[in-house]
Structure 1
Amino acid sequence: MVLEAIIVAIPLLSIITSLFLEKRLYSKVSTILTGIAFLLSLYVFLFTNKEGSFIFLRFDGLGTLLASYILLVSLVIHKYSENYMKDEQGFKRYFILLDLMTWNLLTLVLSNHLLVLFASWHLMGVILYFLLTFNNRRWQAVEWGRLALFTHRLADVSLLIAVLLLYKQYGTFEISKLVQMVTTEPSDTLWIPTLLIILSGILKSAQIPFHVWLVYSMEGPTPVSALMHAGIVNAGAIIAGKFSFLFAYDLYGLSLSFLVGIITAVLGSTLMLMQNDVKKALGYSTVGQMGYMMMEVGVGAFALAIYHMMAHGIFKATLFLSSGGVIHEARKDPNIPRDEVYDALIKKEGTYKDMPTVFYGAITLLVPLILVLITHYIFKPDFFKYQAPLILLFFGWITSAQVLLNLFKVGREKPLLTAFLGIVSLFVLLSIYVLMSHLLRGFVFPYEGLQEKVYERAFSNPVLFILGIAISLILVLVGWILIYFANREEPLKVHLSLYAHLSRELYFPDLYKLIGEGFMKLARLLSFTSLSAVSAYGVFYTGETSENFPLDALILAFFIPLFPISLITSYLIRRFWIYSYPLIALLGVISLEFIKIPNYEFLYYLASFTLLFHSLRAVVSQSFKEGISELYPALLSLIWLSKKEAYFAFLLLPSALLYLLGIYTKRVLHTDSFYYAGGFIEKMPIYSLLLVIASLQACLTPFMPSFYPFFDALLKANALQAALLITGWFMLGVAMALTAWSPLHGRPREDINYSDLLRR
């Protein structure tokens, strides 16, 4: 296992070398080390048949396969970035983030621990945020980077609940043990974690309506757009493959994956045709392909989804890298390319009246059907026993027919030769597709017979199966009808209306903007409302009263704040923050030494609500002192839930670090406002790093000490308390991204003398 451990450690070693090397030399060393890691992973995958574990990692077939894929894509991006990014400010920072993302993705695919898996799943969104906002002077890049972070954090919520339920059910975090326990002692409620896992994959894989973060992330560097295909945007297949053993007991997750996937595949591919921005068109193309990938997950073809993920990822990553050269050439060319979709739908140019419709129609419908049936019969004779794979056959038929139809349009002068070449190429393509699905089957499913069980679960409900077929058929027929009338001299009037709506991207960006504005208005409203009815509900929920509530606990509720007394603590820190915060924290330590935390059920509800309430107030905070005044009661409320005084240091540390950084900011800028100045990443990199670390502690990020009191509280909470806690956890992440990280971005002010830590 030493060799496998070295593979995971190499990206971290590369980051360490950045401390000692000049930026150009570091980029070359980083590329070389990534290449070495790829070669080692390839050796392990091809020549090492033993499975083994190392600490929290497990090196099985699927993990080593995906590790090789991730390192291959990362190596290509490393090499491309050496020249593409060489003139960018923050060149070394970019490569550090690139190495960090590579390490995180390796940890994700090789993890054998539920919390390590969740931590990697979560950090994927955080690291991606800093990569997408690399052009920190462009405020649009920052705004859409935040949207990506919020979407990924929403996906984290779903997976966190699934991990929590699995641990409560089986009492283990080890995935290999979980496989054995689920196989021997299946539960009737396993369909809930599978549904949550699919939902998390849908969010991370940019499925409609959660696709906007991907399409508008093109403000980031082009290599970052390529990097997203190394296991980020196609993470839905990865997470389904990691938990494939659960889907033998699924009820609704696979059906949801298929229905969302088919809608995404059709709309994503359609919207791709409407774009005149090459990177945005590629983004919508990825959305459509990820729709196909989730469709394959939905019918239980996890191995096919993994192959689709890797084949599309390598192809699209190189296509994104090539788009950089296309953009540079387009800037030199004064000619504006024509919009072919506009010509087809509005001007009706480019029609083919001489096409032999009967001949081409027969070939494009009959030949693909025969080829699809033959290839599946050769490689997988038992493929036809299950309902779910029949949908794949249907889509294979329709897609193949469309491919041949497009070939005939291009080569209509030699129809027979075109038909022959198209049929041969199609047969080879389908054969490889089906063969790879068969070969990867053993990597995805950990025990014999699991594939058949998953197939049986996929569309086991006849109504959902018929609905899936009906939606597929209707969408295909509507598309063909529109294409047919587009080639007539008197087109349908619907074309103009359709073009208008599609050119606005079906108003999804406008809807997101309205939701964002509404969320901020709601946060401001709730943050200035005491909502005492909620706390009263917490008191009477269990029928308990506070008649025997010890008076000394009221003192504890002030220094270890509990709603509504926490409002007083928050006010004092905000009003006298430099003077009051150290005193309140010190008295909190003393109080915990002499006062025992009372054991009342209603206090759990008050503590859960305290976290949510002050997290909401942190979202709209404007300065360090406002943010700290809300973080202090929000985080320390977890002590009431965990009943462990030892957690005090973990929960006090984030607000204490931000307190010190706020004092330094006030000393340098003469204000502690989050919005007074920007460009901290450029001018104060060491300070910015400390600010990010303190913020990640504050928003209870996995891998940080502050996360463990939160997870401990979750394990002890009931459904209502857990809902309040998880919502508060989500809001803390939103608060850090909107407030504490605001000074990192933007253009530095010329009238400010920035002074970094250790560089004065």
Structure 2
Amino acid sequence: MVIELIILISPLLSIITSLFLEKRHYSKVSTILTGIAFFLSLYVLLFANKESSFIFFKFDGLGTLLASYILLVSLVIHKYSENYMKDEQGLKRYFILLDLMTWNLLTLVLSNHLLVLFASWHLMGVILYFLLTFNNRREQAVESGRLALFTHRLADVPLLIAVFLLYKQHGTFEISKLAQVITTESSDTLWIPTLLIILSGIIKSAQIPFHVWLVYSMEGPTPVSALMHAGIVNAGSIIVSKFSFLFAYDLYGLSLSFLVGIITAVLGSTLMLIQNDVKRALGYSTVGQMGYMMMEVGVGAFALAIYHMMAHGIFKATLFLSSGGVIHEARRDPNIPRDEVYDALIKKEEPYKDTPTLFYGAISLLVPLLLVLITHYIFEPDFFKYQAPLILLFFGWITSAQVLLNLFKVGREKPRLTAFLGIVSLFVFLSIYVFMSLLLKGLVFPYEGLQEKVYERAFSNPVLLVLGIAISLILVLVGWILIYFANREEPVKVHLSLYAHLSRELYFPDLYKLIGEGFMKIARILAFTSFSALSVYGIFYTGEPLKNFPLEAFILAFFIPLFPISLITSYLIRRFWIYSYPLVVLLGVISLAFIRIPENEFLYYLASFTLLFHSLRAVLSQSFKEGISELYPALLSLIWLSKEEAHFIFLLLPSALLYLLGIYTKRMLHTDSFYYVGGLMEKIPIYSLLLVMASLQACLTPLMPSFYSFFDTLLKANVIQATLLITGWFLLGAAIALSVWRPLHGLPREDINYTDFMRR
């Protein structure tokens, strides 16, 4: 138990040492503590004979394996960063964030509590945002960080709904108890959480069309890119494996994972070939590999997906850590390397004529097929019993054929030796691949018969099975045809057009830009057009006459604001924020002391809409006074839904903290604008830390007190109310990232005298 506790808290101990050490010494201590945690986790993995649990965490076989993998990658990145980042400003902040991300990933894989799991899933995106915006003076780094944060918060929504449904149906947050209940009692509605979990994994694992955040997040330090590609983007297979016991009852989730995975694998790998930027090419390579990983999930091969994740993660981390040297070397070399894809598609350069195409083609197709069948038959003969895993044989065959063909192209001078070495290497590789899948199966599927049930559920719908195979065959055949005609003297004219579209990355970045601009335009229209709000207000009218509404509800709505009275409260705070906010809060406290929240269905719908409406307006906030004027009615509307006056202090706290920080900004910097001032993270780090903590409270971040009020409210809501609440929760996070965190980044102004709390 002591060893497991040390493993879990080592990153936190490292953060604590940062308070007492200089940045150079702290980086070394951080690396040492990470190394100690890794070797301890390896000891537990190899020599511990039983599972151990404490508080909200459980050290089982899968959790300990993933913890060892995470700590290994983190140790390598820590050691590399000691030298790579030594001259960077903000070195201590970087290592604190690195330790925080390591701890968060450990809690993700070791958690045995639904809310702790969801908190780790959510905080992954928040910590990643600050890692990607480490170079906070670069606008492109800030924009890529925001895109990553929005995408990850979008991925949080399906998992939040799944956690809500699982707890509401089974009444427990403990994952191990949930597994016992579900494996003994079947349910017809469990396919909904499995579909939501798959959808959450698809978004966070950079599957198309949600891949842009990964490819365009290269403005962060190179070690951050290595950590992101080796650990964070692999979250899809981790979350699915954590809930593997649910997928014995799945209907559509696994099929969706396979279809999206195959499209992502092909398009990601194709777009990788077009890139002329090393890091972006590696990014698209990861997108393609994550597509393969989700395909493996889709056919029920969760153990294979875990092995794929670890093997690819270590490999890709090494590539990213080496890419910095490649980039520096390329900058010193005036010669531009030739682009083979450009030569094939545009210049139409002919290949070598001495290649016996028919002979190599036959070997490339027949030998890999035999190797794939032999290795699976030796290590896992039961594999052939199930319909879905047979698709893996097909892709194993195609991939192996491509590998062997490329080996022949490289070794034209000694074709026989190349063929022999290629076949032996391929057999060894396939054997390890299948053996590791078999070895990890007991960790991913701890219950007897669970693997077989998942295999049976994968592609239980024959239509989806045929569709998946058809898409894969069409994409592979189209690729082969294009390659064949690219080498002819009269090539197909489509190549130039195809290259043009692929070079624009199939217009996904342009589409994202249009969506962002459209969202902001719609937000402005809805936020400042009262007619749109009133129309939605009328939708939720239940037909109950106004005369039946309790009088105390109208009185209370002035101080615990409800729409449309909340517009008056919002205006008063915006207009006289320094003086009116304390008065509004005082009247709210007094009103709750003497007036009980009435029971009225219409008021509950109205409170749900109030949260959504003012969260949308908060997205457009440009100053502290505007942000506080929207956060106050948005958060306090939850009191009407929870019917708990005791939640008042937790829901008031975020806007109160931002009010105090806003006053400090106004007095010291002579402005409360989010746009005028910049560079706060660089100039006043203690103030920036407090601002981040207050804003995380405001956007109802898990593990913050305000979140529990929100989740308690969510449990009491019906479907429509829950939809409005979750949408409002998402918009609050967007508002914080777009407005409150804006002054943290950018160039400090020369006309402002920055003064931190502890430096006055």
TM-score normalised by L of structure 2: 0.99
Q: Which residue of 2 aligns with 1:537?
A: 539
Report the Cα distance in structure 2 between the residues aligned to 1:536 and 1:637, rounded to whole angstroms.
Answer: 18
Query: After alignment, is 254-263 or 749-758 more displaced?
Result: 749-758
In the alignment, residue 381 of structure 1 is paired with which amino acid? P
Report the Cα distance in structure 1 between the residues aligned to 2:41 and 2:552, rounded to whole angstroms.
Answer: 60
Kept after mapping to 2: 8 A contact 1:11/1:103: yes
Report the Cα distance in structure 2 between the residues aligned to 1:640 and 1:737, rounded to whole angstroms.
Answer: 27
Corresponding position: 1:735 with 2:735: yes
Q: How do 1:303-702 and structure 2 match up within 5 A?
A: 303-349=303-349, 351-530=351-530, 531-540=533-542, 543-702=543-702
Could you report, residue by residue, the CA deviation over 1:9-39 in whole angstroms, capped at 9, with x for unpaired residues? 0000000000000000000000000000000
Could you report, residue by residue, the CA deviation over 1:646-689 in whole angstroms, capped at 9, with x for unpaired residues? 10000000000000110111112211100001100000100000
Kept after mapping to 2: 8 A contact 1:654/1:697: yes
Kept after mapping to 2: 8 A contact 1:74/1:230: no
Report the Cα distance in structure 1 between the residues aligned to 2:283 and 2:259, rounded to whole angstroms.
Answer: 21
Report the Cα distance in structure 1 between the residues aligned to 2:209 and 2:230, rounded to whole angstroms.
Answer: 22
Kept after mapping to 1: 8 A contact 2:230/2:316: no
Report the Cα distance in structure 2 between the residues aligned to 1:230 and 1:246, rounded to whole angstroms.
Answer: 26
Name the SS for the 1:21 alignment partner.
coil
Report the Cα distance in structure 2 between the residues aligned to 1:396 and 1:466, rounded to whole angstroms.
Answer: 18
Kept after mapping to 1: 8 A contact 2:198/2:253: yes
For residue 353 of structure 1, report the CA deviation from its aligned partner: 2.1
For residue 6 of structure 1, report the CA deviation from its aligned partner: 1.2
In the alignment, residue 536 of structure 1 is paired with which amino acid? G
In the alignment, residue 688 of structure 2 is paired with which amino acid? S
Kept after mapping to 2: 8 A contact 1:244/1:444: yes
Kept after mapping to 1: 8 A contact 2:651/2:706: yes
Q: How do 1:24-63 and structure 2 match up within 5 A?
A: 24-63=24-63
In the alignment, residue 509 of structure 1 is paired with which amino acid? P
Could you report, residue by residue, the CA deviation over 1:379-433 in whole angstroms, capped at 9, with x for unpaired residues? 0001011111111000000000001111111111221111111000000000000
Q: Which residue of 1 aligns with 2:173?
A: 173
In the alignment, residue 394 of structure 2 is paired with which amino acid? F
Could you report, residue by residue, the CA deviation over 1:449-491 in whole angstroms, capped at 9, with x for unpaired residues? 1000000000111111111111111111111111111111111
Report the Cα distance in structure 1 between the residues aligned to 2:194 and 2:137, rounded to whole angstroms.
Answer: 41
Q: Which residue of 2 aligns with 1:269?
A: 269
Q: How do 1:103-252 and structure 2 match up within 5 A?
A: 103-252=103-252
Name the SS for the 1:53 alignment partner.
strand
For residue 620 of structure 1, report the CA deviation from its aligned partner: 0.4
Kept after mapping to 1: 8 A contact 2:671/2:677: no
Q: Which residue of 2 aligns with 1:76?
A: 76
Q: Which residue of 1 aligns with 2:10?
A: 10
Kept after mapping to 2: 8 A contact 1:69/1:230: no
Name the SS for the 1:755 alignment partner.
coil
Name the SS for the 1:234 alignment partner.
helix
Q: Which residue of 2 aligns with 1:721?
A: 721
Could you report, residue by residue, the CA deviation over 1:569-613 in whole angstroms, capped at 9, with x for unpaired residues? 000000110000001001101110000101001111000000000
Report the Cα distance in structure 2 between the residues aligned to 1:272 and 1:263, rounded to whole angstroms.
Answer: 14
In the alignment, residue 593 of structure 1 is paired with which amino acid? A
Kept after mapping to 2: 8 A contact 1:231/1:238: no
Report the Cα distance in structure 2 between the residues aligned to 1:183 and 1:721, rounded to whole angstroms.
Answer: 31
Name the SS for the 1:58 alignment partner.
strand
Report the Cα distance in structure 2 between the residues aligned to 1:250 and 1:353, rounded to whole angstroms.
Answer: 52
Could you report, residue by residue, the CA deviation over 1:506-545 in whole angstroms, capped at 9, with x for unpaired residues? 00000000000000001111111231122222222xx433
For residue 361 of structure 1, report the CA deviation from its aligned partner: 1.1
In the alignment, residue 617 of structure 1 is paired with which amino acid? R
Q: Which stretches in structure 1 are left out of the alignment for 5+ residues?
A: none
For residue 350 of structure 1, report the CA deviation from its aligned partner: 5.2
In the alignment, residue 488 of structure 1 is paired with which amino acid? R
Kept after mapping to 2: 8 A contact 1:229/1:314: no
Kept after mapping to 1: 8 A contact 2:114/2:173: yes
Could you report, residue by residue, the CA deviation over 1:340-384 in whole angstroms, capped at 9, with x for unpaired residues? 110111112251222111111110010000000000000000101
In the alignment, residue 169 of structure 2 is paired with which amino acid? Q
For residue 638 of structure 1, report the CA deviation from its aligned partner: 0.3
Name the SS for the 2:693 alignment partner.
helix
Kept after mapping to 1: 8 A contact 2:350/2:488: no
TM-score normalised by L of structure 1: 0.99
Report the Cα distance in structure 1 between the residues aligned to 2:327 and 2:550, rounded to whole angstroms.
Answer: 70
Kept after mapping to 2: 8 A contact 1:30/1:95: yes
Q: For residues 20 and 288 of structure 1, do their structure 2 counterparts lie closer, same or farther at Cα, with a shift above 3 Å needed? A: same
Name the SS for the 1:19 alignment partner.
coil
Corresponding position: 1:93 with 2:93: yes
Report the Cα distance in structure 2 between the residues aligned to 1:536 and 1:347, rounded to whole angstroms.
Answer: 63
Report the Cα distance in structure 1 between the residues aligned to 2:740 and 2:446, rounded to whole angstroms.
Answer: 44
Q: How many pairs align? A: 758
For residue 750 of structure 1, report the CA deviation from its aligned partner: 1.2
Query: After alignment, is 410-419 or 634-643 more displaced?
Result: 410-419
Query: After alignment, is 263-272 or 529-538 more displaced?
Result: 529-538
Kept after mapping to 2: 8 A contact 1:544/1:601: no
Identity, % of aligned pairs?
Answer: 88
Report the Cα distance in structure 1 between the residues aligned to 2:352 and 2:618, rounded to whole angstroms.
Answer: 62
Report the Cα distance in structure 2 between the residues aligned to 1:244 and 1:550, rounded to whole angstroms.
Answer: 49
Name the SS for the 1:500 alignment partner.
helix
Report the Cα distance in structure 2 between the residues aligned to 1:705 and 1:398, rounded to whole angstroms.
Answer: 52
Name the SS for the 2:58 alignment partner.
strand
Report the Cα distance in structure 1 between the residues aligned to 2:569 and 2:704, rounded to whole angstroms.
Answer: 26
Report the Cα distance in structure 2 between the residues aligned to 1:553 and 1:233, rounded to whole angstroms.
Answer: 48
Kept after mapping to 1: 8 A contact 2:230/2:313: yes
Kept after mapping to 1: 8 A contact 2:182/2:246: yes
Kept after mapping to 2: 8 A contact 1:195/1:253: yes
Kept after mapping to 1: 8 A contact 2:237/2:297: yes
Report the Cα distance in structure 2 between the residues aligned to 1:546 and 1:173, rounded to whole angstroms.
Answer: 41
Report the Cα distance in structure 2 between the residues aligned to 1:636 and 1:65, rounded to whole angstroms.
Answer: 43
For residue 230 of structure 1, report the CA deviation from its aligned partner: 4.0
Q: Which residue of 2 aligns with 1:280?
A: 280
